[in-house]
Amino acid sequence: MIDVRTADGIADCYLTRPDDEPHPGVLLMIDAIGLRPRIEEMADRIAAAGYVVLAPNVFYRGGRAPLWETPNLADQEARNTFMQSVGPMMAALTPERIAADGGAYLQELSEHAEGRVAITGYCFGGRLGWTIAAAHPDRVAALGGFHTGRMVTDEPDSPHRLAPSVRAEVYWGHADQDQSMTPQNVATLDRAMDEAGVRHTTEVYEGAMHGYTMSDMGAYNEAACERHFEALLSLLSRTLPS
């Protein structure tokens, strides 16, 4: 665990690397459940492939991780209680704050890793990663987003409208059972990226639910999770220096 200074305070982050040799960097943007052992496991697996991985506690404004116990989201009452507690923290992550925090995370990675970096994001972390890639296009070579919802809304600041600012190569691994990212939403996002000239690959994982990579959640799907690792490592291998 390391501390990263941002414009608004200190973010506690998990940093992992395969060895002391130089390696390219990967910024891992967590889901809404928070920085926890499952995130560290995933970061370690990516690092073992030859990368320096930084996973920030994006909710650091609310305190150091863990801010809560991993909830049982299969229980509706527990889910409602959790969303009531985390909702304001998610809402507080405005595009401006995400961009500023992202700059601090990227700066920290530059002190441990070589060259431009990649971002991998999960659930709402995919939206955060997309926003960071748009805000820092010269520093982000690739973005992988997995079971990421609400990329398309009716609001003027809908995330998909950032496509013209993105220069990274992008991979989306959508869950086909994700009501927060419908087939129409996927088509709208793809069209925005096409019109902006964003290099991208979009895949829909059949039989997968929102949260399919998280083994500590009820939505976990081992086959989809393994597919995600294959896709992510392929993206990293072709976009980051070896």
Contact 53, 28 (CB under 8 A): yes
The answer, yes or no, to whether residue 242 has pLDDT greater than 70, is: no
Q: What pLDDT band is residue 87 in, cutting at 50, 70 and 90?
A: confident
The mean predicted confidence, pLDDT, of the chain is 95
* pLDDT (tens digit per residue) in 141-179: 999 999 999 999 999 999 999 999 999 999 999 999 999
Residue 219 has pLDDT above 70, yes or no: yes
Please spell the DSSP secondary structure of 166-225, one letter per residue: --SEEEEEEEEE-TTS-HHHHHHHHHHHHHHT--EEEEEEEEEETTTT-TTSTT--HHHH
Q: What is the pLDDT of residues 175-212, one digit of tens each?
A: 999 999 999 999 999 999 999 999 999 999 999 999 99
For residues 76, 180, 169, 229, the Cα torsion angle rounded to the nearest 10 degrees is 30
Q: What is the pLDDT of residues 24-59, one digit of tens each?
A: 999 999 999 999 999 999 999 999 999 999 999 999
- pTM of the entire predicted model: 0.96
pLDDT at 17: 97
- What confidence score (pLDDT) does residue 131 get? 98
- Domain total of the chain: 1
Instruction: Provide the residue range defining the domain that includes 140.
Output: 2-239
Supply the CATH number for residue 144's domain. 3.40.50.1820
Inter-residue contact 26 to 46 (CB < 8 Å) = yes
